[in-house]
Amino acid sequence: MSYGEIPTLKPALTSVMWKTVSEACNLACDYCYYSQCNGMPKKIEHIDDTVLEKFITEYMNISKGYVSFVWQGGEPLLAGIDFFRKVVHLQAKHAPNNTIISNSIQTNGTLINEEWASFFKEYNFLVGVSLDGPEDMNDARRVMGSGKGSYKRIMRGIEYLKDANADFNILTVLHENNITRAADLMKFYQEQNFPFVQFIPCMDFRAQEINKPGVFLITPKQYGDFLCDIFDEWYNDGMPQTSIRFFDDMLAVYLNQHAGLCSHLETCPKHLVLEQNGDAYPCDFFIHEEYRLGNVGVDTLEDLLTNELMENFHDLKPNLPDPCKSCEFLHLCHGGCPRNRIKSNNEFGVEYFCESHKQVYRYAHERMQIVASNVKKKRIQDLINAGYKMPGRNDHCICGSMKKFKKCCEPLLSFN
Ligand code: SF4
Ligand code: SF4
């Protein structure tokens, strides 16, 4: 058993996201699509011990060598560190030999102290910290229950993570206060040495209301402009230094690999989202009775995964609207997220951010080719340095393109 290594296996269940304390949260971000306690949670109820152990046991039994847990909230740290000590204990107790265990946690960062940071480091948790940029941008929307800005407490939590050398990334919600400030955001993240950043457009609908259209606080044009602006900052003469999830995904496709984000994949991953009480759904955006698969405290994991509602859900993404079928960017976008295809008249159309994606795909294409070429050159050089023999000219290329080596990466050998 080992914690947090990179998965290479294809398990029956890609990952499970568990809402550790339901909607309890100590922040009152005005755009939150889930929590309704206004930053003043009353009673904290975390996952029941028996349900936790039952699920972990069953998950380990179907694991095929790899399991992935994502702990979310509300604010999951409100469950207390002893809850997470129990989690890692149960994972270790029930993991078959040689199982890779991945844990990530999405937190607002305000409760992280030295003890949490060293726990995350010890068990290789990947910590996603929500931060909307420098103080003015963050505190415009992300406030404590008292109404005070959360920036200083978040940054204090990040300092603990840095001191403990724990892995973390930054999740930034895009809204009216930061959408036009791509350069300022990037400057701030680089000054702070944040190596991994993800941007998500701010939702203006509740995830539980699956019959309402997915609408957002920013327009497709604003998001498209933002992506182009942040691409300029990311590009760095063809040698990007900061990892930005959207461009990492795009680059992966240019390198003949798969994107990481579910919305950029051909199908939605086989994923479970669990409410604190064990109710199971196929996705965080489909938390509705229509898609309730059962409850992990009562039903077997196998029953949940073979429930026909799961199949119905997985039919959604590949059922592309006509414009996607002939779209030149389908290999990059795969029609986006089906939740964002729901329109106000309850019909399906192209995803809300279709035009934003097209805008940045066009804008970035030539420079993305340069970045991909630079990455390939570096990989080839590393292989040569490691004594790896290059393929014959008519053999398959080493980059996975399935093209002949001479038609793909061989010309890059003359790069010096
Ligand atoms: S519905 Fe959207 S968010 Fe959910 S798994 Fe599919 S692409 Fe991802
Ligand atoms: S860019 Fe638009 S049309 Fe093209 S695949 Fe994506 S959502 Fe469909």
Residue 294 CB less than 6 A away from ligand 2 = no
From the alpha carbon of 358, which atom of ligand 2 is closest? 1
- Residues with Cβ within 8 Å of residue 12, at least 6 apart in sequence: 62, 64, 270, 305
Residue 324 CB less than 6 A away from ligand 2 = yes
Q: Where are the beta strands (DSSP E) in 39-167?
A: 66-72, 100-107, 126-130
In a mutational test of the pocket of ligand 1, which residue from 14, 263, 311, 316 has the highest number of ligand atoms less than 8 Å from its CB?
Answer: 263
Domains held by the chain: number = 1
In a mutational test of the pocket of ligand 1, which residue from 200, 208, 285 has the highest number of ligand atoms less than 8 Å from its CB?
Answer: 285
Residue 350 CB less than 6 A away from ligand 2 = yes
CA distance 390 to 387: 9
Active centre residues (catalytic): 284
CA distance 103 to 161: 16
CATH number at residue 140: 3.20.20.70
Question: In what helix (H) or strand (E) does residue 15 lie, and over which residues does it extend?
Answer: strand 15-19
Q: What is the pLDDT of residue 35?
A: 65
Tokens of 13: 């269940």
- If one counts every other C-beta atom within 10 angstroms of the C-beta of residue 374, the result is 16
- Could you list the residue range(s) of the whole structural domain that residue 108 is in? 15-178+266-317
198 falls within a domain: no
Backbone angles phi, psi at 166, to 5 degrees: -85, 150
Question: In what helix (H) or strand (E) does residue 201 lie, and over which residues does it extend?
Answer: strand 196-201
277 falls within a domain: yes
Going from the Cα of 329 to the center of ligand 2, the distance in angstroms, rounded, reads 6
- Residues with Cβ within 8 Å of residue 58, at least 6 apart in sequence: 296, 300, 301, 302
DSSP state for residue 395 in the 8-state scheme: S
From the alpha carbon of 330, which atom of ligand 2 is closest? 5
CA distance 65 to 10: 9
75 falls within a domain: yes
Question: In what helix (H) or strand (E) does residue 50 lie, and over which residues does it extend?
Answer: helix 49-61
Q: What is the pLDDT of residue 348?
A: 85
Question: In what helix (H) or strand (E) does residue 156 lie, and over which residues does it extend?
Answer: helix 151-164
Dihedral sign of CA atoms 142, 248, 341, 225 in order:
positive
Going from the Cα of 50 to the center of ligand 2, the distance in angstroms, rounded, reads 44
Q: What is the pLDDT of residue 351?
A: 93
Burial of 405 (0-12, 13-18, 19+ CB in 10 A): buried
- Rg value, the chain, Cα: 22
322 falls within a domain: no
- Going by C-alpha positions, the residue among 72, 146, 79, 130 that lies closest to residue 103 is 72
Backbone angles phi, psi at 97, to 5 degrees: -55, 145
25 falls within a domain: yes
CA distance 237 to 196: 19
User: Per-residue pLDDT for the chain (416 aa), expressed as one digit of tens each?
Assistant: 444 444 444 558 999 999 998 888 999 888 887 667 777 777 888 899 999 999 999 999 999 899 999 999 789 999 999 999 999 999 999 999 999 999 999 999 999 999 999 999 999 999 999 999 999 999 999 999 889 999 999 999 999 999 999 999 999 999 999 999 999 999 999 999 998 999 999 988 776 777 788 788 899 999 999 999 999 999 999 999 999 999 999 999 999 888 999 999 999 999 999 999 999 999 999 999 999 999 999 999 999 999 999 999 999 999 999 999 999 999 999 999 999 998 877 788 999 999 999 999 999 999 999 999 999 999 888 888 888 888 899 998 888 778 888 888 888 876 54
Longest Cα–Cα distance of the chain, Å, equals: 67
Q: What is the pLDDT of residue 401?
A: 79
From residue 189, how far is each of 31, 117, 184 by CA, in Å?
22, 20, 9
Give CA 97 to chain center in angstroms.
28
CA distance 215 to 205: 6
From the alpha carbon of 262, which atom of ligand 1 is closest? 8
260 falls within a domain: no
209 falls within a domain: no
212 falls within a domain: no
Residue 338 CB less than 6 A away from ligand 2 = no
